[in-house]
Structure 1
Amino acid sequence: MQSFFERYYNINKNLMSMIGGWPAQNIFMKILMPTVIICLIFTLGYLEFVKIMDSWRTITEDCECFIIFVLVTGGYIKISSVVLNTKNINQLLSVIDYHWRVFVHSVEIQIMHDYAVAGRKITIFFIVTFYSLLCLFMAIPPLPKLLNIIKPLNESRPNIYMFDVDYSFDREEYYFTVLLHSYITAVIGISMLLSVDSLYIVLTQHGCSLFAAVGQRLENLNSAISSWKDNELEKTHKGGLANCVQYDRDEKIYRELIVILWKHQLCLEYVNLLNFSFGHFSFMYIFLNMMAISLLLMQILALMDRKGQMIRFVAMLIGAFGHLFILNFPGQRIMDHSSDIFDKAYNVLWYKLSRKSTQLLSILLYRTLSPCTLTAGNMYVLSLINYASMAQTSFSFFTTLSSLQ
């Protein structure tokens, strides 16, 4: 287990260890890291709550406050999915270890390797993308200070803050302390998001690799069957010897179909466990994501004449759409790969099989008739079609909020 985990999932292990979410970590770090994260998130949420209570106006005028509330709530859900899901994550990792010990055919190993490497590359891509957006977001606040040095004016430019919160003291006097707190909170928040979502991606990739491995065995089986010639036995064998060769072939096909059915059952069990572990949290993520997109669009619209501040929220908007995509794309992958099993089983030359083999093939076709899905709270199927639907709903909600101005 340790060898392939270090080879394929070491990035995910390091990210999860940063937030105390890796099952193999010692208990002290599992308690310390989430506690620190919860405290940091609480400080941001509490300070924002104080500000909005002191100077409540309207939802459009206090849009940035509501954006921060949504982000804080999302942070709590993310850390909860780590703390409350440790047992399920550990079980998923143990099941993956079991799969690497039972999917031992050379073709299966190669497929699982390819998908694990692809999952690693996707993780790196999202890490680079989200941290780049974070750097863009963090680069705006100190910009006036730099411009005052490089190109000074008759008066100092006003300071820009990452989060519009009430610190109950003079923010101008303690500007760099406030900026440091904002930076630490933002980095931890993004790290937590990437930790959970990248793990979700690689776990889904493993499920796709299992379906791909089963599908490849079906293709190899069909190729072997199609290579038979209808009159091959009659030409080369006589009497009982021909029957013996035919019986051996039927038995090999039958045993291969048993293995395929068993491994397909492992695929279904794994996807069900994955859906059970992340489904309810995904529903909350999607709802908050849609709220965040709508509020961010409102804030960008309000800052059209202040390009410098608007860039921060454009970066957040890109991140929100990216996060929504991350939630839906793995579900689409699972659907596509599980559907492929049905197509490949349907193409098997059943008329060349024995009766007992066709019965097994019928069971496989019945099981794969409906594709596997990942859901959000068992109410919403995660797919690219629904991703577009959710994006459209976010724009509709944005239009509704804008009409309140």
Structure 2
Amino acid sequence: MQSAVKRYYNINKIFMSKIGGWPTQSIFIKIFLSTVISTFIFSLAFLEFVQLTKTWRTITQDCECLIMLLVVIIGGIKLFTLVLSNKNIKRLLSLIDYHWRIFTHSLETQILHDYAIVGRKMTISYAFVIYILMCFFLLIPVMPLLLNIVKPLNKSRPYKYLFDIDYGFDREAYYYPILIYTYLTTIMNISILVIVDTSYMMFVQHACSLFAAIGHRLENITSDLNSEKNNRFVKDVQLTYNQRNLEDCIQYDNDDEIYHELVLVLWKHQISIEYVCFLDSSFTLYSFTLLFITIIIISFLGMQILSLLNHKEEMIRYIAMCIGSFLHLFVLNYPGQRIMDHSTDIFQKAYNMLWYKMSRRSTRLLSILLHRCFVPCTLTAGKIYVLSMANYASMVQASMSYFTTFSSLN
């Protein structure tokens, strides 16, 4: 990628490289990192599943085990999405590089830079919030150890664990190895969530920058049409024959310039649509699976929080997980809304153009652009569910409905 692109996407590159998801990494590094991480994740999933089969009673009583199992499954899905779809990731990155080479107008380049900076800030902010929430979850086992030092009792406080799992041996005898294992697994799982989500937001942010650049080019055409230069032919009716011919030539040249500008805009708009379609096809199954699982997790978390109202320390980590789940659901839907808004904005700007000052062939191109922009670009989950903020609200409502249903099963 170009040096400017590397400068803005270097954080995403570092993140993706940590789990073997960056396309230019060697095959050995990709296989090694993904194997180590998946071993940790699926070992925990196996232990949670075994624990669930041993102690299964009802949904409400085994809610904690179900939550942890689903969270680990989400981490595995995200890991395999990034690793197994590495060719698609490489293709998306190559398209970004291509776009930076064809959007060469100074205004377009500035817009791409501005959106890349915003995307970088979004990556940092999202990672910061998720890791802060993770810290609340990781503090639970450490609290008794800290209290034994700060406020000691006549006897040591009992150990607390991140996951209530039967490892097949005495947990207290191997408390610290278990603690290290669960910490590493949790950090890996959360890191995968952050890396894949921020990569997804990066790709969507670039798509928004393409539509924004095209919209500004349309505004420039409008300003040119409304300028004094393009209206000279209506100012003086008392023109000589030669002057009239000269004005006709100037007007023809202006129409020719506008026509070629519209051709360029249509070409770039088609390229942007193709990029969004490929992005949608690359993440549609991923989005559909995660939406369903996240809604179930939010419902279980609500049940778990209600059952721990008298245990404030335990309740804190589930509140943090609930906030993180809502944030994750928001991240899945908000990028789709941004693409819808930016693609619709092109229709508004093209509609407001001074078409009556254009030549016939220019207005034909404008009508093609209006027809294509009438239906906004969207990101979907499974090709059946449009990701948007309106549907985000319906998903939150659905999770509350599932929460009520599961609670009634107690």
TM-score range normalised by the length of the shorter chain:
over 0.9
Give the counterpart letter for 1:329 in structure 2: Y
1:268 maps to 2:273: yes
- 2:371 pairs with 1:366: yes
Show the counterpart of 1:29: 29
Question: Residue 122 of structure 2 aligns to which amino acid in structure 1?
Answer: I
Change in Cα spacing, 1:236 to 1:83, as seen in structure 2 (3 Å) is farther
**1:235 Cα deviation from its structure 2 partner:** 6.1
Letter in 2 for 1:12: N
The separation in 2 between residues aligned to 1:193 and 1:236, in whole angstroms, is 70
Q: Residue 404 of structure 1 aligns to which amino acid in structure 2?
A: L
| Alignment of 1:309 onto 2:314 | yes
Question: Which residue of the partner structure matches residue 215 of structure 1?
Answer: 215
Alignment RMSD (CA, Å)? 1.2
Task: Note the C-alpha offset of 1:82.
Answer: 1.0
* Structure 1: runs of 5 or more not aligned: none
Deviating beyond 3 angstroms after TM superposition, the runs of 4 or more aligned structure 1 residues are 232-237
In structure 2, the partner of 1:353 is: 358
1:44-76 deviation digits (Å, cap 9, x = unpaired): 111112212222211111101100111121122
Within 2, Cα distance between the matches of 1:5 and 1:256?
Answer: 26
Distance of aligned partners of 1:353 and 1:2 in 2 relative to their CA distance in 1, 3 Å threshold: closer
* Cα drift, residue 203 of structure 1: 0.6
For 2:379 and 2:49, the matched residues in 1 are separated by 35
Identity %: 57
Q: How does 1:243-262 map to 2 (within 5 A)?
A: 243-262=248-267
Corresponding position of 2:293: 288
The residue that corresponds to 1:334 in the other structure is 339
Separation in structure 1 between the aligned mates of residue 337 and residue 238 of structure 2, nearest angstrom: 49
Find the counterpart in structure 2 of residue 117 from structure 1.
117
For the residues of structure 2 that align with 1:175 and 1:218, how far apart are their CA atoms?
64
Give the drift of 1:6.
2.2
Q: 1:235 to 1:214 in 2, by over 3 A?
A: farther
| CA 1:389–1:266: 2 relative to 1, 3 Å | same
**Given the alignment of the two structures, is residue 231 of structure 1 paired with residue 234 of structure 2, yes or no?**
yes
Q: Deviations over 1:201-249 (max 9, x none)?
A: 0110000000000000000100111224361374677232111111101
| Partner Cα separation in structure 2 for residue 369 and residue 55 of structure 1 | 55
Paired residues of 1:268 and 1:372 also in contact (CA < 8 A): yes
Q: Please report how far the alpha carbon of residue 171 of structure 1 lies from its aligned counterpart in structure 2 after TM superposition.
A: 1.0
> How many equivalent residue pairs?
405
Asked whether the equivalents of residues 297 and 325 of structure 2 are also in contact (C-alpha less than 8 Å), the reply is yes
- 2:361 partner amino acid: K
Quote the residue 2:6 is aligned against.
6
What is the TM-score when the length of structure 2 is the normalising length? 0.97
Give the Cα separation in 1 of the matches to 2:248 and 2:46: 80
Please state whether the residue corresponding to 2:34 is helix, strand or coil.
Answer: helix
Secondary structure, aligned partner of 1:9: helix
CA distance in 1 between counterparts of 2:339 and 2:300 reads 31
**Structure 2: unaligned runs, 5 residues or longer:** none
Q: TM-score, normalised by structure 1?
A: 0.98
Aligned positions of 1:107-146 closer than 5 A: 107-146=107-146
Q: Which string of whole-angstrom CA distances, capped at 9 and with x for unpartnered residues, describes residues 94-127 of structure 1?
A: 0111100000000000000000000000000011
Letter in 2 for 1:373: T
Q: CA deviation at 1:149?
A: 2.2
- Look up the equivalent residue of 2:279 and give its one-letter code: L
Paired amino acid for 1:345? A
Provide the residue aligned with 1:319 in structure 2: 324
